[in-house]
Amino acid sequence: MAVEQKTDEKEPLGLRLSLRLKLTLLITTLLVLTVLFVSVFLVRQEQESLTNEMTKRGRTIARDLANASKNPILSNDDLTLSLLVQDAMKDPDVVYVIFADADGKVVGHPDLSQIGQRVARSSGLPMAVGETQVTPYVDPKHGKVIDFAVPLVFSKVSVGSLYLGFSRKPIDQAVATARNSTIVISAAMIVVGILGALGLATVLSGPVMRLVEGTRAVAAGNFQIHLPVTSRDEIGALTESFNQMAKNLREKEMIKRAFTRYVARQVVDEILKDPEKLALKEERRDVTVLFCDMRGFTSLAERLSPEDVVGVLNDFYTLMVDTTAKNDGIVDKFLGDGVMAIFGAPIVHEDHPLRAVKTAIAMQTGVAELSRKRARDGKDPIAVGIGVSAGEAVAGTVGTEDRMEYTVIGDSVNLAARLESNAKPGQILISQRTYQRLDGVVNVRTLGVIRMKGKEEQVEVYEVLGLTQGV
């Protein structure tokens, strides 16, 4: 009975070792095949690259020799041909240079005894006919050689031929060096890979399946999952990280459900930075506020069907949201036939006045294009007036427990609204305070001092004509 008990205790160990062995063999086999494939591929690439470079170099030398030898061959200038051969043979990679005349007799050769003899080519090497022919072969004396057979043509008349031999020894030496280095690196990688595979197979044989099931549960939307931590090693740390991830996802899911009271993506991102908060704390912020309103919308709506009115507003709102988002602002409110946008909150941007003005210009450009499109379709055009004001305001959430929204409140908001109400179709109005903060990056036209409704002091107003060059 004791023997049976001992045997039963060994079975799980055997199964565990068997699984470890299978994983080790699988990972090691894949690693070895990958390393061998990459090594062979790299060596072949190196060989092909060197061969191509050697061939290009040989073609260049052959071309230069061919150009320099035509006149000496025609004029029987043996001395010049001999000098060309001697200069070419100074290159350690050149194994032979042979010039022949139109009759196939040697007129230039490293071995002067060959002068006047007919050209003798090794078996399988072509004669110089037609175009330059490149042929790799094995020479009994020089080993592996790349042969270049170049016909010499002057005014479409064959005057002779050039045979140039290039040694492949530098290629073979470079490939051998690369192969030896690759073998050493590959062997080291395989040894490390085997050890890593053995350790990985041992560690991953058990808890990995629980992590797989947990991941599937999270993917299905079950963030209540919690896995038991059965060890204090890396797998245990991974399990703890998984549990923390599930907890964070659970908290963020709760926050996202509360975000039906918010509109802007930036507000969502700001709150998600601190999951303990369900609202943004009120604080004084330096911001720029933009109001944009459609002109003549009431009379336009009276002439259109309800469906057409909705279509106009959807096109208008889409344009407003897109142009605002491109400059990292948020559309804070939809005001019937207008919008209110904020720059500099909740995400801080030091250049928020410039971002707001860029948005205003883009809005006017987009509305103009939308009007042209509507005119082409036989519909009434639209126009907007825009007011922009920079300054200090209180930014935060307002509302009740059931309904909240992020907004800014202050004199800058009121001033932007008053500027928008004074703007004519196509105009962008800014205050003097805003203009001063733009530091000359916009072209403006002063409209003088205007008394704004609800403000005791008069306000100097500027119309934005565009951005200065280079902004």
| 42-56, 228-242, 438-452: range with highest mean pLDDT | 438-452
CATH architecture of 280-467: 2-Layer Sandwich (3.30)
How high is the pLDDT of residue 20? 60
Rounded distance between C-alpha atoms, residue 425 and residue 366, angstroms: 14
How high is the pLDDT of residue 343? 92
Cis peptide leading into 346, omega within 30 of 0? Answer: yes
Q: Which DSSP letter does residue 468 get?
A: P
As annotated, the residues of the chain forming the CATH 3.30.70.1230 domain(s) are 280-467
**Which H or E element spans position 78?**
helix 78-89
Q: Which two tokens stand for residue 274?
A: 């601190």
As annotated, the residues of the chain forming the CATH 3.30.450.20 domain(s) are 2-173
| 23-37, 53-67, 158-172, 418-432: range with highest mean pLDDT | 418-432
Q: Name the pLDDT band for 202 (thresholds 50, 70, 90).
A: low
Higher pLDDT, 173 or 327: 327
What mean pLDDT do residues 364-369 have? 93
How high is the pLDDT of residue 462? 92
- Domain 2-173 sits in which CATH superfamily? PAS domain (3.30.450.20)
Which residues have CB under 8 Å from 261's CB, separation 6+? 399, 403, 404, 405
Q: Name the pLDDT band for 267 (thresholds 50, 70, 90).
A: low
Instruction: Measure Cα distances from 3 to 7, 9, 16, 462 in Å.
Output: 6, 10, 21, 99
pLDDT above 90 for 363: yes
pLDDT tens by residue, 89-128: 888 888 888 888 888 888 888 888 888 888 888 888 888 8
Instruction: Measure Cα distances from 364 to 88, 137, 288, 325, 375 in Å.
Output: 73, 74, 18, 15, 16
pLDDT tens by residue, 296-349: 888 888 888 888 888 889 999 989 988 998 888 888 888 888 999 999 888 888
Higher pLDDT, 234 or 389: 389
Q: Which two tokens stand for residue 439?
A: 């530091």
How high is the pLDDT of residue 293? 93
As annotated, the residues of the chain forming the CATH 1.10.8 domain(s) are 207-261
Rounded distance between C-alpha atoms, residue 132 and residue 117, angstroms: 23
The region of weakest confidence among 17-31, 34-48, 119-133 is 17-31
Q: Name the pLDDT band for 366 (thresholds 50, 70, 90).
A: very high
| 40-44, 65-69, 444-448: range with highest mean pLDDT | 444-448
How high is the pLDDT of residue 271? 53
Higher pLDDT, 444 or 171: 444
Mean pLDDT of the chain: 80
Q: Percentage of the chain surpassing pLDDT 90?
A: 14
How high is the pLDDT of residue 57? 82
Higher pLDDT, 86 or 450: 86
pLDDT above 90 for 237: no
What mean pLDDT do residues 204-211 have? 68
The region of weakest confidence among 33-37, 104-108, 289-293, 387-391 is 33-37
pLDDT tens by residue, 268-310: 555 555 544 444 567 888 899 999 999 888 888 888 888 888 8
Fold of 207-261: Helicase, Ruva Protein; domain 3 (1.10.8)
What mean pLDDT do residues 217-229 have? 79
